Chains A and B, each alone.
Chain A
């Protein structure tokens, strides 16, 4: 087998050195009745590289890839251009095949990248600090709720109807077991985000208020107003960003008063990947650092006084604190953080602004063009690169009919919020710098046909 260096001569010599008759003897502690006496039935034997590649290529061909058709899906996962350099850098074996940098003397590469990543995320979010990443946006969102609870010693979170329903569901799963109270609502189809409802929900028991920015319908909540209302009740504001590219155009949540900003970093560097692995982003005020979840990289010096980086404040973490840790998280999303960081380094602030602007302008064109389709109506007053459209029939049917015409036309909101008749006809449409005028024309033509 090509991945195994030992041959039978090696094995014989090693068994002799050990003093064991065969490898089976090394499994003596396994009770005999639990030991299998041959390969497990029903599973195939080993296969050559070419055979495995052929099999996987056939499976791959059974999916319709986003890049092969006009594509308008978003709702928490966005398709942007990822420069070839990004994928090249993350395939450097020294990054790809390294472990968590627990031995800093031989892991400065990973550590410096994490320090740069933390700085990039903090600047993007407008927060004082950021961590070295979490699993994804949805789990980062729950971690923010848990952290706000530790800080305020309150256990009620008020969640905007504009928060991605998967994020709400993830938090509900955890809250069922921790006993936290989550005040939730379904999105209301208004042109403006439902800021008033969120503000009305805040009281003296509220630990935090969660607001997605832009929200799941692409609307842009008034974070400054919500922050002022929360502060008046001693509650924290958690801003959730599922499309960080939007922050190239609109103001950072931290600058508008958010205390904790979490997000999904997938749209920079990581790609769609059918939903994972993605990249949880987490930033907050400096005074909350010791309550943060996840790994942190900090600056220090080595024995010669040279600037060095090291994982720090690990007394918050499970391998030291065990059941008293701030979170059970062990891994972060290291390689995705690298991809995000390389992409953002290639962009710089000016490139991110161009990318956000191009994505936004394509959204305006798309919204305008969809406005000409009989029966389609734009919901939003404002948006960056994603918006909601109401259709004269269930959006799920329309999405399927569009796919049959080889147009991936958006996400039916009913996929995320099932069994809500008022939302059944809502289609979420997203664009990026990859969207072309031809894509928009194809969407309009196919949708016109489907709705006719």
Chain B
């Protein structure tokens, strides 16, 4: 067992379990730095306010549908609020605390420079409908980031407004629909590999397409023959993730793209894993027509506990005329302009319309641009190289203990995939994942992709050190051995987290989604 802190706890010291019976439970339920925190609605008071307002004299307009009293919302003073949220924050795992090897999610270091620049007044404190002459700095950020994105991907144009990866998928499919409509083509099928992210088929259905599934080959890639066999006059396009969700490069993508194009369809690439190849491979060279880029993955804008993300979509020459509104364009006057509805009739007759209010996730654009400028073209290639190196290191160090279904086929890209094949009867991927929590790590992605039984998808990213990976590998070796041996303590892990396993069935059976006093 590798000791994390040689000056601290060591295995020979034994375990003093927090649950051991010779220590009485605390009155508060707290355990020193493990602090329980009540709900806001149990702490706050209706008349408490943590903000002082300047007094404004006057009376409201007559005839308004005034409320009979304030909204029933408890308030906290500033010190109480700071403590409430600080205590809650400490019940979270985070990339700032340790490795977060969620495959496909790309949890890498979030530079604080990016936070600083996003808060600069010329970006953070400008209104989206200010006159264009007063927002040139903000528009330059969009334009500069757009230039990087099209150059890094080798594409013709980029739609900047999509608000997340799934919104970007929608943008790409709507561009395909618009392009088909423009030529009077009624194609209505999108082909989606069975290893795809759930958003792919959901998006295709949301955009009004029928979804047909494509099987995977034994080496974890799209079955080229099956895909080509499905092509025809009703197929609008394919959605392919590359590198794919098994962490493998789709070697046949160019061949697939050529076949799809020859059959009159378009190629959508799910760019969730672009971080594996950025600076080294341009999707435009592989025949891709549209690809979203998760700025919160490849370009490290923070995940924020579940968003906000940003999903700009790069487009090929064929789809560029069908981008959404608005977009930024340079005018004859030398200024940057927003092409909105008023200008679109002349400037972008094929544009399919607006996907959201305003101009996209500006706060994410500033962060992503600062990240990209910091790395530069050379640093981005180094980052993707290190990400792939780290993943292969994990793959090769663990494949003697865990079954790696595609390990024999060659190197992986940025993530290493294992199955639960070596586990004892009754032990699952979930048990190992919960064991990782006790070891101080966030679990990997589990049960995805669906094509591998009990999948464990590990994405270390380039921002983990070798020493950190060695610790993670040591923990994984121990857990794999325990799962193989059938250690019952693993079935009830985690033991040391703020909570033990939570009852998800109970939550779904009789949902309690808001706090009510009678239930307290």
- Best-buried of A26, A33, A338 by chain B (most CB within 10 Å): A26
Q: A92-B89, A98-B92, A348-B70 provided; 17 other pairs, C-beta below 8 A?
A: A1-B379, A55-B373, A57-B120, A99-B100, A99-B102, A99-B306, A139-B163, A276-B359, A276-B364, A296-B513, A298-B507, A298-B511, A301-B502, A335-B305, A348-B45, A348-B46, A414-B342
Complex Cα distance, B42 from A299, in Å, reads 15
Residue contact B110 to A96, C-beta cutoff 8 Å: yes
Q: Does B113 contact A (CB under 8 A)?
A: yes
Which chain B positions have C-beta within 8 A of A152?
A: none
Interface segment, one of B133-141, B419-427, B474-482: B133-141
6 interchain pairs, CB-CB under 8 A: A17-B396, A137-B357, A138-B354, A351-B75, A414-B342, A418-B341
Within 8 A of A (CB), among B123-165: 123-131, 133-138, 140-141, 144, 148, 151-152, 163-165
Which chain B positions have C-beta within 8 A of A106?
A: 91-93, 437, 442, 494, 497-498
Residue contact A132 to B129, C-beta cutoff 8 Å: no
Residue contact A56 to B504, C-beta cutoff 8 Å: no
Residue contact A14 to B466, C-beta cutoff 8 Å: yes
How many B residues, CB 8 Å from partner? Answer: 200
Which chain A positions have C-beta within 8 A of B506?
A: 300-301
Residue of B nearest to A360 (CB): B60
Residue contact B507 to A49, C-beta cutoff 8 Å: no
What is the minimal beta-carbon distance from A171 to any residue of chain B, in angstroms?
9
Which chain A positions have C-beta within 8 A of B122?
A: 59-65
Residue contact B113 to A170, C-beta cutoff 8 Å: no
Residue contact A361 to B72, C-beta cutoff 8 Å: no
Q: Which of A6, A90, A345 contacts B50 (CB 8 A)?
A: A345
Complex Cα distance, B70 from A318, in Å, reads 38
Which chain A positions have C-beta within 8 A of B66?
A: 249-251
Residue contact B123 to A60, C-beta cutoff 8 Å: yes
What is the minimal beta-carbon distance from A340 to any residue of chain B, in angstroms?
12
Residue of A nearest to B181 (CB): A176
Residue contact B500 to A408, C-beta cutoff 8 Å: no
Q: Which of B67, B96, B163, B466 contacts A6 (CB 8 A)?
A: B466
Which chain B positions have C-beta within 8 A of A338?
A: 85, 304-305
Residue contact B41 to A277, C-beta cutoff 8 Å: no
The digit string for A37-71, where 1 denotes a CB below 8 A from any CB of B, is: 00110111111010111011111111111111001
Interface segment, one of A199-207, A229-237, A322-330, A369-377: A322-330
What is the minimal beta-carbon distance from A446 to any residue of chain B, in angstroms?
14
What is the minimal beta-carbon distance from A151 to any residue of chain B, in angstroms?
17
Residue of B nearest to A45 (CB): B376
Interface segment, one of A153-161, A181-189, A303-311: A303-311
Residue contact A334 to B504, C-beta cutoff 8 Å: no
Q: Does A113 contact B (CB under 8 A)?
A: yes
The digit string for B181-207, where 1 denotes a CB below 8 A from any CB of A, is: 000000000000000011101111111
Q: Which of B47, B204, B211, B362 contacts A276 (CB 8 A)?
A: B362
Which chain B positions have C-beta within 8 A of A92?
A: 85-86, 89
Q: Does A352 contact B (CB under 8 A)?
A: yes
Within 8 A of A (CB), among B281-323: 281-282, 285-286, 296, 302-310
Q: Which of A52, A99, A323, A336 contacts B374 (CB 8 A)?
A: A52
The digit string for B65-96, where 1 denotes a CB below 8 A from any CB of A, is: 11111111111101001101110111111111
Residue contact B128 to A349, C-beta cutoff 8 Å: no
Q: Does A166 contact B (CB under 8 A)?
A: yes
Complex Cα distance, B144 from A218, in Å, reads 36
Known contacts A5-B464, A312-B507; decide if A118 and B306 are in contact (CB<8 Å). no
Known contacts A1-B375, A345-B84, A408-B127; decide if A295 and B306 are in contact (CB<8 Å). yes
What is the minimal beta-carbon distance from B340 to any residue of chain A, in angstroms?
7
Which chain A positions have C-beta within 8 A of B471?
A: none
Residue contact B503 to A302, C-beta cutoff 8 Å: yes
- Best-buried of B109, B120, B502 by chain A (most CB within 10 Å): B502
What is the minimal beta-carbon distance from A180 to any residue of chain B, in angstroms?
10
Q: Please name the 6 residue pairs, one residue from A and one from B, whose CB atoms are nearest each other, closest first.
A: A348-B75, A275-B358, A335-B304, A60-B122, A275-B128, A93-B96
Residue contact B117 to A40, C-beta cutoff 8 Å: no
Residue contact A95 to B129, C-beta cutoff 8 Å: no
Residue contact B305 to A98, C-beta cutoff 8 Å: yes
Q: Does A252 contact B (CB under 8 A)?
A: yes
Which chain B positions have C-beta within 8 A of A52?
A: 113, 117, 370, 373-374
Residue contact A361 to B58, C-beta cutoff 8 Å: yes
Complex Cα distance, B513 from A130, in Å, reads 8
Residue contact B306 to A124, C-beta cutoff 8 Å: no
Residue of A nearest to B203 (CB): A328
Q: Does B434 contact A (CB under 8 A)?
A: yes
Residue contact A94 to B463, C-beta cutoff 8 Å: no
Residue contact B138 to A335, C-beta cutoff 8 Å: no
Residue contact A105 to B502, C-beta cutoff 8 Å: yes
Which chain B positions have C-beta within 8 A of A403?
A: 130-131, 133-134
Residue contact A99 to B377, C-beta cutoff 8 Å: no
Q: Does A390 contact B (CB under 8 A)?
A: no
Which chain B positions have C-beta within 8 A of A116?
A: 39-41, 515
The digit string for B402-417, where 1 denotes a CB below 8 A from any CB of A, is: 0000000011010000
What is the minimal beta-carbon distance from B171 to any residue of chain A, in angstroms?
10
Complex Cα distance, B502 from A313, in Å, reads 15
Residue contact B279 to A13, C-beta cutoff 8 Å: no
Q: Does B261 contact A (CB under 8 A)?
A: no
Known contacts A98-B303, A275-B360; decide if A252 and B40 are in contact (CB<8 Å). no
Which chain A positions have C-beta within 8 A of B249?
A: 27, 29-30
Which chain B positions have C-beta within 8 A of A178?
A: 206-208
Q: Which of A46, A77, A101, A347 contacts B51 (CB 8 A)?
A: A347
The digit string for A103-131, where 1 denotes a CB below 8 A from any CB of B, is: 11111111011011011101110001110
Residue contact A27 to B374, C-beta cutoff 8 Å: no
Q: Does A136 contact B (CB under 8 A)?
A: yes
The digit string for A403-445, where 1 denotes a CB below 8 A from any CB of B, is: 1000010010011101100000000000001000000000000
The digit string for B159-176, where 1 denotes a CB below 8 A from any CB of A, is: 000011111011000100
Residue of B nearest to A126 (CB): B71
Which chain B positions have C-beta within 8 A of A275?
A: 128, 357-360, 362
Known contacts A36-B280, A139-B167, A352-B70; decide if A108 and B91 are in contact (CB<8 Å). yes
